[in-house]
Amino acid sequence: MPISRFVEYEEAPPEVRAVYDDIMATRGIDWVNNFWKAIAQHPPTLKRTWESLKEVMADGALDPMVKEMIFVAVSATNGCDYCINSHTAAARKAGMTDAMLQELLAVVAMANETNAMAAAYQVELDERLREAARRA
Protein backbone atom coordinates (compact mmCIF):
# COMPACT_ATOMS: atom_id res chain seq x y z
CA MET A 1 0.00 0.00 0.00
CA PRO A 2 -0.64 2.44 -1.57
CA ILE A 3 0.89 0.57 -4.49
CA SER A 4 -1.88 -1.65 -5.59
CA ARG A 5 -2.26 -4.67 -3.34
CA PHE A 6 -5.51 -6.29 -4.25
CA VAL A 7 -8.09 -7.76 -1.93
CA GLU A 8 -9.35 -10.85 -3.74
CA TYR A 9 -12.88 -12.10 -3.21
CA GLU A 10 -11.71 -15.29 -1.52
CA GLU A 11 -9.81 -13.49 1.20
CA ALA A 12 -12.21 -10.57 1.56
CA PRO A 13 -14.08 -9.88 4.81
CA PRO A 14 -17.89 -9.98 4.60
CA GLU A 15 -18.39 -6.21 4.24
CA VAL A 16 -16.03 -6.20 1.25
CA ARG A 17 -17.71 -9.24 -0.33
CA ALA A 18 -21.06 -7.52 0.00
CA VAL A 19 -19.78 -4.58 -2.06
CA TYR A 20 -18.15 -6.86 -4.62
CA ASP A 21 -21.42 -8.74 -4.96
CA ASP A 22 -23.31 -5.51 -5.51
CA ILE A 23 -20.78 -4.31 -8.12
CA MET A 24 -21.13 -7.53 -10.07
CA ALA A 25 -24.92 -7.62 -9.77
CA THR A 26 -25.32 -3.97 -10.77
CA ARG A 27 -23.08 -4.38 -13.79
CA GLY A 28 -24.20 -7.86 -14.74
CA ILE A 29 -20.66 -9.25 -14.77
CA ASP A 30 -18.81 -11.93 -12.82
CA TRP A 31 -15.60 -10.14 -11.93
CA VAL A 32 -14.45 -7.01 -10.09
CA ASN A 33 -11.88 -4.66 -11.59
CA ASN A 34 -8.65 -3.70 -9.87
CA PHE A 35 -9.75 -0.25 -8.75
CA TRP A 36 -12.21 -1.73 -6.29
CA LYS A 37 -9.83 -4.47 -5.21
CA ALA A 38 -7.20 -1.84 -4.43
CA ILE A 39 -9.37 0.49 -2.38
CA ALA A 40 -10.88 -2.52 -0.61
CA GLN A 41 -7.82 -2.36 1.60
CA HIS A 42 -9.94 0.22 3.43
CA PRO A 43 -13.47 -1.24 3.54
CA PRO A 44 -15.24 2.03 4.49
CA THR A 45 -13.64 3.75 1.49
CA LEU A 46 -14.73 0.90 -0.76
CA LYS A 47 -18.31 1.03 0.45
CA ARG A 48 -18.63 4.82 0.39
CA THR A 49 -17.02 5.17 -3.04
CA TRP A 50 -19.07 2.44 -4.64
CA GLU A 51 -22.34 3.71 -3.24
CA SER A 52 -21.57 7.25 -4.37
CA LEU A 53 -20.53 6.13 -7.82
CA LYS A 54 -23.57 3.93 -8.24
CA GLU A 55 -25.85 6.82 -7.32
CA VAL A 56 -24.05 9.38 -9.49
CA MET A 57 -23.78 7.19 -12.57
CA ALA A 58 -27.34 5.87 -12.49
CA ASP A 59 -29.68 6.75 -15.32
CA GLY A 60 -31.33 10.11 -14.67
CA ALA A 61 -31.59 13.34 -16.58
CA LEU A 62 -28.47 12.27 -18.47
CA ASP A 63 -28.08 8.85 -19.94
CA PRO A 64 -25.30 6.57 -18.69
CA MET A 65 -23.31 6.77 -21.94
CA VAL A 66 -23.06 10.54 -21.66
CA LYS A 67 -22.05 10.22 -18.02
CA GLU A 68 -19.28 7.79 -18.91
CA MET A 69 -18.06 10.17 -21.63
CA ILE A 70 -17.93 12.99 -19.09
CA PHE A 71 -15.89 10.70 -16.87
CA VAL A 72 -13.47 10.09 -19.74
CA ALA A 73 -13.20 13.86 -20.34
CA VAL A 74 -12.23 14.56 -16.73
CA SER A 75 -9.85 11.60 -16.62
CA ALA A 76 -8.05 12.66 -19.79
CA THR A 77 -7.73 16.19 -18.41
CA ASN A 78 -6.23 14.82 -15.20
CA GLY A 79 -4.03 12.34 -17.09
CA CYS A 80 -5.39 9.31 -15.19
CA ASP A 81 -4.62 6.29 -17.38
CA TYR A 82 -6.56 3.80 -15.32
CA CYS A 83 -9.67 5.97 -15.40
CA ILE A 84 -9.42 6.80 -19.12
CA ASN A 85 -9.41 3.10 -19.91
CA SER A 86 -12.01 1.91 -17.45
CA HIS A 87 -14.51 4.61 -18.39
CA THR A 88 -13.82 4.32 -22.12
CA ALA A 89 -14.63 0.63 -21.74
CA ALA A 90 -17.82 1.49 -19.85
CA ALA A 91 -18.85 4.11 -22.39
CA ARG A 92 -18.36 1.64 -25.23
CA LYS A 93 -20.47 -0.91 -23.40
CA ALA A 94 -23.15 1.78 -23.08
CA GLY A 95 -23.09 2.44 -26.82
CA MET A 96 -20.29 4.91 -27.58
CA THR A 97 -18.95 4.39 -31.09
CA ASP A 98 -15.44 5.11 -32.35
CA ALA A 99 -16.71 8.25 -34.04
CA MET A 100 -18.19 9.49 -30.79
CA LEU A 101 -14.99 8.78 -28.90
CA GLN A 102 -12.93 10.66 -31.44
CA GLU A 103 -15.15 13.70 -31.22
CA LEU A 104 -15.13 13.49 -27.44
CA LEU A 105 -11.34 13.55 -27.37
CA ALA A 106 -11.22 16.44 -29.83
CA VAL A 107 -13.50 18.47 -27.55
CA VAL A 108 -11.39 17.58 -24.50
CA ALA A 109 -8.21 18.71 -26.26
CA MET A 110 -9.79 21.93 -27.50
CA ALA A 111 -11.20 22.69 -24.05
CA ASN A 112 -7.79 22.29 -22.47
CA GLU A 113 -6.41 24.72 -25.04
CA THR A 114 -9.01 27.43 -24.58
CA ASN A 115 -8.96 26.99 -20.79
CA ALA A 116 -5.25 27.81 -20.89
CA MET A 117 -5.91 30.80 -23.14
CA ALA A 118 -8.64 32.21 -20.91
CA ALA A 119 -6.31 31.82 -17.93
CA ALA A 120 -3.35 33.37 -19.73
CA TYR A 121 -5.35 36.33 -21.04
CA GLN A 122 -7.29 36.57 -17.75
CA VAL A 123 -10.45 37.31 -19.66
CA GLU A 124 -13.15 39.09 -17.67
CA LEU A 125 -16.53 37.39 -17.76
CA ASP A 126 -19.21 39.05 -19.91
CA GLU A 127 -22.23 40.04 -17.85
CA ARG A 128 -24.47 38.52 -20.54
CA LEU A 129 -22.77 35.16 -20.25
CA ARG A 130 -22.99 35.24 -16.46
CA GLU A 131 -26.73 35.75 -16.74
CA ALA A 132 -27.13 33.10 -19.41
CA ALA A 133 -25.17 30.55 -17.38
CA ARG A 134 -27.37 31.14 -14.36
CA ARG A 135 -30.73 30.81 -16.08
CA ALA A 136 -32.26 27.56 -17.15
Site for its own copies in 49-88 (CB under 8 A): 49, 52-53, 55-57, 60-62, 66-67, 69-88
Is 25 a residue that touches its own copies (CB under 8 A)?
no
Interface region with its own copies, contact rule CB under 8 A, candidates 7-15, 17-25, 99-107: 99-107
Under rule CB under 8 A, residue 129 binds its own copies: yes
Q: Cα(15)–Cα(48) distance, rounded to whole angstroms?
A: 12
Residue 106 as a binder of its own copies (CB under 8 A): the answer is: yes
Q: Which is nearer to its own copies, 13 or 117 (CB)?
A: 117
Which of 13, 15, 26, 34 is close enough to bind its own copies by CB under 8 A?
Answer: 34
